[in-house]
A and B are shown apart, each in its own frame.
Chain A
Amino acid sequence: MECREIRKRISAYLDGELKQGEWERVANHITSCPDCARELKTLQEACSLLKVDEGIEPSEDFVLQLFEKIGSGGKGYQSLQRTRWSFTSVPAFIRLAIVLLLGMVIGVGFGSLTSTERQGGVALTPGRNVAQGIALDNFQSVHPQSLTQAYININLKSPLKS
């Protein structure tokens, strides 16, 4: 077998993942090929170097905490996900848009409140007064083809002009 082919199998050889026949072929090749033997040694050293990082131990109360969560329906992880979201995590331009939108809503609401007139429990805006002024009788005395005159009549009666 070519060195190139052997090298493709060296990792699996190191991890004990080759079948008997393949394992023997790789093993035999390595004993007779110094380059592949060197490659094997270097890989072996790289893998053993990884073990310098041994990982972490669970906290002492890991099991206790888990059983508390089981008892409470497992709310801990959900709260972790909830706390991860905050207004500051939203991109700045979206935050700005939200603030502007809120400002507009509050402004319109406030403006509407201050300009309303309370009549019999119903708030009437100047716009509504105009609408009331524009009654059908504006059109009754006007010739059907005289829309200009109707328009003048409407403007004359508008409460906004007073």
Chain B
Amino acid sequence: MEKNERIITDEELILRFQQGEAACFRELVIRHQRNVLNVASRITGNREEAEEIAQEVFLRVYRAMNDYRPLTKFSTYLYKITLNLSLNQVRRAKIVLNRFFSGEEGDKEEFERAGRADTLPDTPLTSMEKEEAKKAVRKAIRSLPKRQRLAIILSQYQELSYQEISEILGCSLKAVERLIHRGKGRLKEELASYIQKK
């Protein structure tokens, strides 16, 4: 892959892949793997399942690459597939949506493998308080209705625009704003004691 000053867009990478530059697909995977994995893990609540789903997402993308036309942003397309596969997996396995957020020991262990909790900047919380806060956050997000939860995950963790979220969830901008507003309102109440601590 050539080194340019200008960042090559996803759409350019796809075009180059379609013209025979196979390495461009690898670049797309490296670029998006973490985001896809985290959305899947926040929905399924299970690291192994999330990894399998993330792999399946990229497999599907790979198979469709030659027919792909950039009608929407590539990331929107990617998140749509991720959400669909993750929700299907949740339904199929009959696991509770966002088991991850339950704060149970097994789940906690799963999500501590990253081991990055100590790198939080500018926060007065001690590591024990961070763990407590993490549990509380997971529980609070778990308590949200499904669509509010998806909207919150996409906006607060994936930092997507309302426009992109509306395309992914298939609803209007106003509806996204309402979902996020209500979701944040509920989170604020659920996390009130932790907010006061800070």
Q: Could you list which residues of chain A lie within 8 angstroms of chain B, going by C-beta atoms?
A: 8-12, 15, 17, 42-43, 45-47, 49-59, 62-63, 65-67, 69-70, 74, 76-77, 80-81, 84
How far, in whole Å, are A58 and B188 apart by their CA atoms in the complex?
A: 30
Is there a chain A Cβ closer than 8 Å to B79's Cβ? no
How far, in whole Å, are A11 and B156 apart by their CA atoms in the complex?
A: 11
State whether A42 touches B195 (Cβ < 8 A): yes
With known contacts A11-B181, A74-B56, A62–B188 Cβ distance under 8 A: no
State whether B120 touches A52 (Cβ < 8 A): yes
Interface string of B156-173 (1 = CB under 8 A from A): 110001100000000000
Which of B30, B33, B52 contacts A77 (CB under 8 A)?
B52
Beyond the given pairs A50-B156, A66-B59, 15 more chain A to chain B contacts, judged by CB atoms under 8 angstroms and listed by A's residue number, are A11-B177, A15-B162, A43-B188, A46-B195, A47-B156, A52-B133, A56-B41, A57-B116, A62-B54, A62-B55, A63-B29, A69-B55, A77-B53, A77-B59, A80-B49
Is there a chain A Cβ closer than 8 Å to B18's Cβ? no
With known contacts A49-B194, A66-B55, A54–B114 Cβ distance under 8 A: yes
With known contacts A43-B188, A53-B134, A58–B156 Cβ distance under 8 A: no
State whether B51 touches A58 (Cβ < 8 A): yes
Using Cβ atoms and an 8 Å threshold, which residues of chain B touch A56? Answer: 37-38, 41, 47, 50, 110-111, 113-114
State whether A80 touches B52 (Cβ < 8 A): yes
What distance in Å separates the Cβ of A19 from its nearest Cβ neighbour in chain B?
Answer: 11
What distance in Å separates the Cβ of B150 from its nearest Cβ neighbour in chain A?
Answer: 14
How far, in whole Å, are A74 and B54 apart by their CA atoms in the complex?
A: 12
- Tally chain B residues at the interface, Cβ within 8 Å: 57
With known contacts A53-B138, A80-B52, A8–B59 Cβ distance under 8 A: no
Is there a chain A Cβ closer than 8 Å to B155's Cβ? yes
With known contacts A42-B195, A52-B120, A62–B51 Cβ distance under 8 A: yes
What distance in Å separates the Cβ of A148 from its nearest Cβ neighbour in chain B?
Answer: 65
State whether A49 touches B162 (Cβ < 8 A): no
Using Cβ atoms and an 8 Å threshold, which residues of chain A touch B120? Answer: 51-52, 54
Which of A55, A65, A66, A84 contacts B93 (CB under 8 A)?
A84
Using Cβ atoms and an 8 Å threshold, which residues of chain A touch B184? Answer: 11, 43, 46-47
Using Cβ atoms and an 8 Å threshold, which residues of chain A touch B54? Answer: 58, 62
How far, in whole Å, are A109 and B162 apart by their CA atoms in the complex?
A: 65
State whether B125 touches A52 (Cβ < 8 A): yes
State whether B33 touches A49 (Cβ < 8 A): no
B41 — nearest CB in chain A belongs to which residue? A56
State whether A58 touches B33 (Cβ < 8 A): yes
B101 — nearest CB in chain A belongs to which residue? A53
How far, in whole Å, are A47 and B130 apart by their CA atoms in the complex?
A: 15
Is there a chain A Cβ closer than 8 Å to B81's Cβ? no
What distance in Å separates the Cβ of B36 from its nearest Cβ neighbour in chain A?
Answer: 9
Using Cβ atoms and an 8 Å threshold, which residues of chain B touch A76? Answer: 52, 55-56
What distance in Å separates the Cβ of A70 from its nearest Cβ neighbour in chain B?
Answer: 6
